[in-house]
Structure 1
Amino acid sequence: MRKLTFGMSVSVDGYVAAPGDDLGWGVQSDELFQWWSDRVGATGLALYGRRLWETMSSHWPTADQQPGATPAVIEYAGRWRDVPKVVFSSTISEVGWNARLVTGDAVTEISRLKAGDGGTMDIAGATLAGAAMRNGLIDEYAVVTHPVLVGGGKPFFTALDNWVNLNLVETRAFPGGVVLTRYETRR
């Protein structure tokens, strides 16, 4: 069985995007960017919801070809292109960049993928992750907390019908007051 992880940057008050889908509140550092790049490099299959897919696919396929692209950006762009991706959407008709589109039930497809062989799957996008979370499919949460309160927006965690007990497996501080807490689901 494959492991399913979910990790995103989050404000201290629990949001992955501020009102209006504003992402400008994140604290950036080379060390944190490298952590994200290494995470992409270790992913066997990336699962995307439509909104985050549109954001990522509008930038990363050619980010390494842009003037002034740093070695870190070049590395990340290559890793992003190389990882196989599944995009879940009922509103778009095609995807590219080493991805396939699933228009049916996301939970059914994620369960099927999880039951198969292969490397770690990483789910990207809070709405898609919320469906997986509610159905007990996520094995690990990587919460990258930035030192900001945004007051509302899109939450990292979804409303649940039952508690999910977690074990802390890692903490790490990054420059600028960013803190990683990584948890495994206790089964």
Structure 2
Amino acid sequence: MRKLIYAMNLSLDGYIATPGDDIGWSGPPNQELFQWWLEHEQAGGLSLYGRKLWETMSSHWPTGDQRPDATAAEIAYARNWRDTPKVVFSSTIDKVDWNSRLVTGDAIAEITRLKAEDGDPMHIGGATLAGAAVRAGLVDEYAVVTHPVLIGGGTPFFTALHTWIHLNHLETRTFPGGTVLTRYATRR
């Protein structure tokens, strides 16, 4: 059975994007944090995206290694992003590329099916998609990357829940600039 990990950058007040879906508030990550994201992504075998995050990622990373100022880590991240299989969940787009397939039907049924397979961990991103997976009890681990900024509103990292979810602390790590990674496992 595969593990499902929900990891994203968020503001100290708990948002992943501003009301206009801007994620630029986090600024470019420092090298140590970017290296963590690279290693996190390399450890996964499948990435699950909602439409908005898919559009953000696919607008940059397919050619992110071709920028003249790309760092070695950015080059590695772009190559890993292209090579990693991806599933995009959306009912409003009709085509995806870059080693991806589109699912327009029941996201929870498909994630449940994918979790039952053997393989490396799956990463899920996008608050709407991840929120549905959280409410369905499918998320095994949370990697909360909290930046020291307050944005006052927008898309929350955690959506409304039907019941409490108890967690076990796995790790806390502080990066230069005050960004804090906290990892938790769902208590089963």
Normalising to structure 1: TM-score of the pair? 0.98
Structure 1 stretches lacking a partner, 5+ long? none
User: What is the count of residue pairs matched by the alignment?
Assistant: 187
Task: Report the Cα offset of residue 24 of structure 1.
Answer: 2.1
Deviations 1:119-174 (A, max 9, x none): 10000111100000010000000000000111100000010010000000000000
Q: Which residue of 1 aligns with 2:18?
A: 18
Supply the distance in 2 between the matched residues of 1:119 and 1:74 (Cα, whole angstroms): 22
Q: Which residue of 2 aligns with 1:39?
A: 40
Deviations 1:57-103 (A, max 9, x none): 11100111122222111111011111110000111111111111101
AA aligned opposite 2:115: K
Supply the distance in 2 between the matched residues of 1:72 and 1:120 (Cα, whole angstroms): 21
Supply the distance in 1 between the matched residues of 2:180 and 2:154 (Cα, whole angstroms): 20
Q: Which residue of 1 aligns with 2:110?
A: 109
What secondary structure is seen at the aligned counterpart in 2 of 1:43? coil
Supply the distance in 1 between the matched residues of 2:94 and 2:156 (Cα, whole angstroms): 27
Q: Which residue of 2 aligns with 1:127?
A: 128
1:141 aligns with 2:145: no
1:89 aligns with 2:90: yes
AA aligned opposite 2:16: V
- Identity across matched positions, percent: 70
What secondary structure is seen at the aligned counterpart in 2 of 1:5? strand
Supply the distance in 1 between the matched residues of 2:146 and 2:107 (Cα, whole angstroms): 27
What secondary structure is seen at the aligned counterpart in 1 of 2:95? coil
Task: Report the Cα offset of residue 22 of structure 1.
Answer: 1.8
Structure 2 stretches lacking a partner, 5+ long? none
Q: What stretches of structure 1 move > 2 A for 4+ residues in a row?
A: none
Q: Which residue of 2 aligns with 1:72?
A: 73
AA aligned opposite 2:160: A
AA aligned opposite 2:2: R
What secondary structure is seen at the aligned counterpart in 2 of 1:56? helix
Supply the distance in 1 between the matched residues of 2:41 and 2:175 (Cα, whole angstroms): 18
Supply the distance in 2 between the matched residues of 1:125 and 1:144 (Cα, whole angstroms): 14
AA aligned opposite 2:148: P
AA aligned opposite 2:136: N
AA aligned opposite 2:80: R
Supply the distance in 2 between the matched residues of 1:67 and 1:10 (Cα, whole angstroms): 29
| C-alpha RMSD over aligned residues | 0.8
